[in-house]
Amino acid sequence: MSEAELSTQHKHAVELHQKILISANLAQQNLWDMCTSLKEMRDGKLYKELGYSNFEDYCETEVGFSRMQAHKYISIIDNIRPENVNSSLRLGVTKLSLLATISHEEQQEISEKVNLEETTVKQLKAEIDKLKSEKQELSDKSADYCKQMMTAKQEKMQALEQADSLQQAINSSRKKFDSLQAENKQLADEIEELRNRPIEVAVAEPINNDRLLEETIKSLERESIKRNEELEKQYREDEQAVRKMLAKDKQDAIDRLTAEYEDKLKALQQQSSEPQADDKEVFKAYFKTAYDSFNRMIEFSKQSNNREFFKCKIVNLINAFESKNAEI
């Protein structure tokens, strides 16, 4: 091929390239207007003014678009904010259609991350898929964290139910003790009644009967005293055992929940990719742990025999919290 022919072909290629760029630029500039007009034609049912009964027939006959293509163009207007694509809108149908598949917030994130005009369709699709994957992973982690929190809440409720059961056992033991005390008092009243029998009756009876009655009274007194001592001892032992069990179960539940909250806080700090949101979640977890522990401490103090001592300690703790809070 001669140099003249090469020169002619090169000139033609340059001219054709310039024509393509101009045409593409015009097409991109008119794309947004076309999508907006299609949406207005559909929403306002203006196609009926042109003699068409439905929007699809109008698109296929007058514009040459299939129903799917027309709705694809309209979805661009419905789902994309102009500010999220740098207000240039010279991206082409394929890129705009890809952006229309994600939320406005995700569109803004993508537009800030990549140059929408210079990036290829393949690169844009890869970025969108990557963003969706990250969002889904974060959503899964959030759901898993919520599930773990629900499990911890259920365990907490079970621990409280167990504590209530133990408290009911103490109350039942107290009622039993009160009932036995009443029986013992009745027995003591009967003994006192025997002692106060009229003298003339006692004199009228034989001497042996008097001695037998006195011995019976003394025996009943000894039996009553012994039984009362045994009941009091048994009650104290039962009450002490139940209280120890209750305190241990409560402390075990608190330790377990505290450890779980600490593990979840560490996991949340390592997994989250948004530092500000992470700080809020960490603070919420710390606050919930402190709040639960404080309430448990209050309930424990209410049931203790050293209420005034614990009340003084709690007041000191609150004052210390206020002092520390003032340093923030």
pLDDT 10s digits, 180-212: 778 777 877 877 777 676 654 444 445 566 677
Q: Does one domain contain both 146 and 114?
A: no
Look at residue 201 in the predicted model and tell me its pLDDT: 46
Look at residue 1 in the predicted model and tell me its pLDDT: 56
Look at residue 197 in the predicted model and tell me its pLDDT: 64
For the full predicted model, state whether its pTM sits above 0.75: no
* Residue 195 forms part of a structural domain: yes
How far is it, in rounded angstroms, from Cα 170 to Cα 251?
Answer: 18
How far is it, in rounded angstroms, from Cα 85 to Cα 81?
Answer: 7
Q: Does one domain contain both 184 and 243?
A: yes
Q: Does one domain contain both 159 and 253?
A: yes
* Residue 125 forms part of a structural domain: no
Q: Which residues span the domain enclosing 233?
A: 140-276
Q: Does one domain contain both 45 and 81?
A: yes
User: pLDDT in tens for each of the 328 residues of the chain?
Assistant: 556 666 777 777 777 767 766 765 666 567 778 888 888 999 999 999 999 999 999 999 998 888 888 888 888 888 887 665 554 445 667 777 888 888 888 888 887 888 777 788 888 889 889 888 888 888 888 777 778 877 777 887 787 887 777 788 778 777 877 877 787 778 778 777 776 766 544 444 455 666 777 788 888 878 878 877 887 888 788 778 767 776 777 677 777 777 776 777 677 666 655 545 457 777 777 788 888 888 888 888 888 777 888 888 888 888 888 887 887 7
Cβ–Cβ contacts within 10 Å for residue 214, how many? 13
* Residue 153 forms part of a structural domain: yes
Q: Does one domain contain both 191 and 74?
A: no
Look at residue 172 in the predicted model and tell me its pLDDT: 79
Q: Does one domain contain both 108 and 154?
A: no
* Residue 314 forms part of a structural domain: no
- Find all residues with CB under 8 Å of 125, minimum gap 6, and list them: 98
Q: Does one domain contain both 48 and 9?
A: yes
* Residue 310 forms part of a structural domain: no
HSE-CB for 232 with a 13 A CA cutoff: 8
Q: Does one domain contain both 238 and 147?
A: yes
Q: Does one domain contain both 40 and 69?
A: yes
Look at residue 25 in the predicted model and tell me its pLDDT: 61
Look at residue 56 in the predicted model and tell me its pLDDT: 92
Tell which of 232, 257, 276 closes a domain: 276
Look at residue 108 in the predicted model and tell me its pLDDT: 80
CATH number of the CATH domain containing 237? 1.10.287
Task: Count structural domains, the chain.
Answer: 2
Look at residue 87 in the predicted model and tell me its pLDDT: 45
* Residue 311 forms part of a structural domain: no
How far is it, in rounded angstroms, from Cα 259 to Cα 253?
Answer: 10
pLDDT 10s digits, 229-266: 887 888 788 778 767 776 777 677 777 777 776 777 67
* Residue 144 forms part of a structural domain: yes
Q: Does one domain contain both 164 and 101?
A: no
First to last CA, the chain: 83
* Residue 264 forms part of a structural domain: yes
Q: Does one domain contain both 93 and 181?
A: no
Tell which of 276, 295, 315 closes a domain: 276
How far is it, in rounded angstroms, from Cα 63 to Cα 71?
Answer: 13
Q: Does one domain contain both 114 and 149?
A: no
